[in-house]
Chains A and B, each alone.
Chain A
Amino acid sequence: MTNHWSDIKNTDLVLIMGGNAAEAHPCGFKWVTEAKAHNKAKLVVVDPRFTRSAAMSDYYAPIRTGTDIAFLGGVINYLISNDKIQHEYVKHYTNATFIINEKFELNEGIFSGYDETKRRYDPSSWGYELDHDGYAKVDETMQHPRCVYQILKKHYSRYTPELVSQICGTPQDAFLKVCEHISSTAAPNRVMTIMYALGWTQHSQGSQMIRTGAMVQLLLGNIGLPGGGMNALRGHSNIQGLTDLGLLSNLLTGYMTLPGEKEQDYEKYVAARTLKPLRPNQVNYWQNFPKFQVSLMKAWYGKAATKENNWAFEYLPKLDKQYDVLQAFELMGQGKMNGYICQGFNPLASFPNKAKIIHGLSKLKFLVTMDPLATETSEFWKNFGPYNDVDPAKIQTEVFRLPTTCFAEEDGSIVNSGRWLQWHWKGAEGPGEALTDPEIMAELFVRLRALYAKDGGAFPDPIMNLEWSYRIPTEPSPEELAKEYNGRALVDLTDPKDPTKVLLKAGEQVPGFAMLRDDGSTACGCWIFAGCWTQAGNQMARRDNSDPYGIGQTLNWAWSWPANRRVLYNRASSDAAGKPWNPHHKLVFWTGDKWGGSDVPDMPPTAAPDQNVGPFIMNAEGVARLFAPTGLADGPLPEHYEPFESPVPVNLMNPKNPKAFSNPAARVFKGDMEAFGTSKDFPYAATTYRLTEHFHYWTKHVDVCAIIQPQQFVEIGEELAKEKGVKAGDKVKVRSNRGEIIAVAVVTKRIKPLDCGGVKVHHVGIPIHWGFKGVARMGYLANTLTPFVGDANTQTPEFKSFVVNIEKA
């Protein structure tokens, strides 16, 4: 979230699309009802189903799953053609005025630079036109035919209400009504929040769906304001924190990236990430990359990381490609992997195409699971009849199942969607012999280190030199680890302007990332968390819930990254002169000599408005990107593509180009393309979702949850049920090209057929929560059905849009 949960109360309009907060984030949704009750806010919901969020809405519009870019592109067209944009904001805070390379073009749904054989883009033609100082050229009048605003206008002029309605199946009047609501927040004193979740991420074009939402917000001037923002409602309690800490194939901590194998030269690796400003006077915060990277290497490798050895650059593994989860199971299936460790993760239930996952796990030499609960993954080798029809005798994988403690049995912090790091305390010991995850990781590491010390082996250097000065080496405490990722001074740090002045003594905790240095004098495990455990103690454990401004800004409750800032880009809550757009919801504003207000300013404290320092300090431009010259695999502007499995035969946006039917830059493995079904055999659009009463695949182990939602079901509309002769409560068989499940049919009025350009589209809703382990009734893993393809940027699987057939079982 750019903003945070309590801040939703400040909004004038809530758009819930690609999510269902009322059911999936119930206690967060209470801030929507708060906004409705006390701020006269309206709620608009766009979803294939009339969800319980929709039941609370002021306006609901149906949409065919996977067509959100068409819908939102249509909204952009509406905003521009009806002059419903926040002109000052767009001009000063976005790249609307920037001029793009003349080689950029879009041809029948494919952008310039496409390599069809590799399914990949070369983005060099998407860049800005630069002047002789290396700054991007701009046209303040926004009339230049190649300025972003004109390109945007032209691109989305194709997204007419008629076409949107044909693609999305949203009746035109409903689409226009939604546009009308949204456009009301172009007024500088009105603001909209967008709340989305996995309903946007789990598509082959998910990143671009989210981008389209962000572009709408930028055109309306709604980012950085209280009650505004792009608010990703993360799916799990600490998936925000674990992503912040960089536990992904290509990352280091704090969104730093690992080197690719071509980056053999440390200086070049650093230079590529130490951005140069693209406009004069910009903060360009990534210019500090070396400070964060060197401090990380000092935290990990201590004295072994020196300037002479490029801070142990050699210790970091170098990438030849992404090793995301889909890639991992592809390699497993090819027999190229031997071992796999699952820490608090149930991939058999969570990943697409269960048959492919079983195939992969069966080819491993060893599998280790660490979990508080008996997961399906840990028993993938066991026969559970139709729910897991395998022959254990044929599976050679050795499996270790290690019991871990749960949340209630440990101290530590987790990060909520609003980026708050909240500390929690242990209430009891774990059951039996359960150990904490850090204890297990430490035991394994200490043993491996001893084996390497004794016997030697492949490249032992990083293992032998890893900084491991914990009081008890096999039991690093949460306090020690939290202090380590906050960071500390390794020598006395003096003021660069006055070397006699000591800012921080050796060994003291750094107060924030501004103290970090690139000369090896500071260590910091995760720069964006710097400030969470300072000399003043554990800031994450703070519990002062006072809200002095009455806008939900509890700055002394827990600690929020970065720098305890609660709303990102908050300088944009004031106009170019530094005056709040809305005097009733003041956030950050210019006080005459500095930036002040109810949040930690996202701006150098004394950079006066007339210095024209842009509010998007992480971008080299200083402004937000309506057009993304770099950073996305599948184009600088979102374009509508069909899901890889679609209920319609043509992409009406580019009907003449079959190559632009689905995302041309999404990676598809050999064999998976063949495993996609067609609308001829599988005529119904399917989408997976969560229920209020269950959490993922965990709560089927919990008696109360198993009692209130005991049995697997699928949801179909009345009209489809009638066509199929299915009554509520009948068992139905749902088939995709990859497998089938049998479940009870729940027949509702919540799903209505949609008219998509003459094709009548029915949706089948598939709740995900059942499996063959737990105390609820046994059910099929929903991912028996889902396709093995991910978003072109994140490789998040396309769980939300695929095709099935259905019959009475």
Chain B
Amino acid sequence: MDINRRQFLKVCAAGVSSSSLAMLGFSPQPVLAEARSFKLARTTETRNTCPYCSVGCGILMYSLGDNAKNAKAEIIHIEGDPDHPVNRGTLCPKGAGLLGFVHSENRLKYPEYRAPASNEWKRISWEEAFDRIAKLMKADRDANFVAQTADGLTVNRWLTTGMLAASASSNESGYITHKVVRTLGMLVFDNQARV
């Protein structure tokens, strides 16, 4: 039998009619030829890691689009990675629902701003957001940076602005965040390890 795993899955997914055909003695090869074309056959498979708990289950994400410049990829299915030595293809109820996280209606799409005492969000551009935040940070740092303590100790710290770093973002994100934060002199800085 000359089928790879994905084709085999397609055969299984074809449901009662094809499996009954197979039971009647038809080999998967002709069954495959008769079945309609399945969505997964046209997808790109990408390996990733579940972002929830710390087991670090391997997942396979299937997206429409073939990485061509004009094709916008859309993830349409996520399942456990059978090659992964820890989860061996399995996922828990949360991991099995990961597609719903990627496509949650509460995903944020644009930078937004809430003015003092306002009761609503206003959409702003990234340019406005970065510009305003950088200016607020600089003004606060310049006004409150402590180069030396009253008794003459050099401390070079900035305590009036703080930062919380994530719990699920990548190492690369964490590394560059730490590099920037310490360089600014921040000490009010934590990640989710404490909670």
Contact = CB atoms under 8 A, between A and B. Distances in A.
Contacts of B96: 704
B195 A350 contact: yes
A237 B53 contact: yes
Contacts of A441: 173, 176-177, 180
Contacts of B106: 373-374, 701, 773-775
A702 B95 CA distance: 11
What 6 A-B pairs have minimum CB-CB distances, sorted nearest first?
Answer: A432-B109, A416-B56, A344-B166, A412-B170, A403-B108, A339-B161
B169 A27 contact: no
Nearest to A529: B171
Contacts of A437: 166, 169-170, 173, 177
Contacts of B138: 448, 451-452, 457
B74 to A, nearest CB: 6
Nearest to B43: A427
A484 interface: yes
A39 interface: no
Interface in A396-434: 396-404, 406-410, 412-418, 420-422, 424-429, 431-434
B interface: dominant SS:
mixed
A234 B53 CA distance: 7
Interface string A437-454: 110011111011001100
Contacts of B147: 458-459
Interface string A220-233: 00000000000001
B85 to A, nearest CB: 5
B194 A695 contact: no
Interface stretch (A310-318, A511-519, A723-731, A759-767): A310-318
B93 A341 contact: no
Interface in B102-155: 102, 104-119, 121, 126, 129-138, 140-142, 144-145, 147, 149, 153-155
A429 B72 contact: yes
A557 B94 contact: no
A323 interface: yes
B34 interface: no
Contacts of A808: none
Contacts of B165: 242, 247, 343-345
Interface string B153-195: 1111111111111111111111111111111111111111111
A531 interface: no
Contacts of A433: 109-111, 126
B135 A451 contact: yes
A87 interface: no
B192 A698 contact: no
Contact of A427 (B46, B108, B133, B166): B46
A638 to B, nearest CB: 20
Contacts of A202: 195
Interface stretch (A143-151, A154-162, A273-281, A793-801): A793-801
A325 B102 CA distance: 29
Interface residues of A, number: 162
Given A27-B55, A248-B191, A314-B154, A237 B167 contact: yes
Nearest to A463: B183
B57 interface: yes
15 contacts: A236-B167, A236-B168, A242-B174, A248-B194, A344-B165, A393-B117, A407-B50, A409-B102, A412-B173, A422-B58, A425-B47, A437-B170, A547-B85, A695-B52, A705-B94
Interface in A543-567: 543, 545, 547, 552, 554, 557
Interface stretch (A124-132, A330-338, A592-600): A330-338
Contacts of B181: 247
B114 A417 contact: no
A437 B178 CA distance: 12
Contacts of B114: 381, 398-399, 401
B83 interface: yes
A399 B133 CA distance: 10
B18 interface: no
Contacts of A797: 194-195
A485 interface: yes
Contacts of B156: 314-318, 459, 462
A246 B191 CA distance: 9
A401 B118 CA distance: 14
Contact of A393 (B119, B154, B182): B119
Interface in A15-53: 24-28, 30-31
A408 B170 CA distance: 11
B109 A239 contact: no
A366 interface: yes
Given A417-B56, A438-B176, A261 B149 contact: yes
Contacts of A525: 175, 179
Nearest to B145: A458
B100 A410 contact: no
A396 B97 contact: no
B14 interface: no
A342 B183 contact: no
Nearest to A456: B142
Q: Kindly name the residue among B65, B90, B111, B126 whose own CB sees the greatest number of chain A CB atoms within 10 A.
A: B111
Contacts of B177: 247, 343, 437-438, 441
A444 B134 contact: yes
Interface in A609-625: none
Interface stretch (A184-192, A475-483, A583-591, A666-674): A475-483
B35 interface: no
A457 B134 contact: no
Interface string B40-67: 0000101111111111111001010100
B3 interface: no
A104 B50 CA distance: 48
A11 interface: no
A392 interface: yes
A421 B195 contact: no
Given A325-B164, A426-B46, A249 B190 contact: yes
A392 B166 contact: no
A424 B47 contact: yes
B91 to A, nearest CB: 7
A693 B167 contact: no
B53 A400 contact: no
A118 interface: no
B187 A323 contact: yes
Given A236-B53, A339-B161, A246 B100 contact: no
A552 B104 CA distance: 36
A445 B174 CA distance: 14
Nearest to B99: A704
Contact of A345 (B78, B155, B192): B192
Interface in A495-538: 525-526, 529
Contacts of A236: 52-54, 167-168, 192
A233 B54 contact: yes
Contacts of A245: 171, 174-175, 178
A395 B119 CA distance: 10
A203 to B, nearest CB: 13
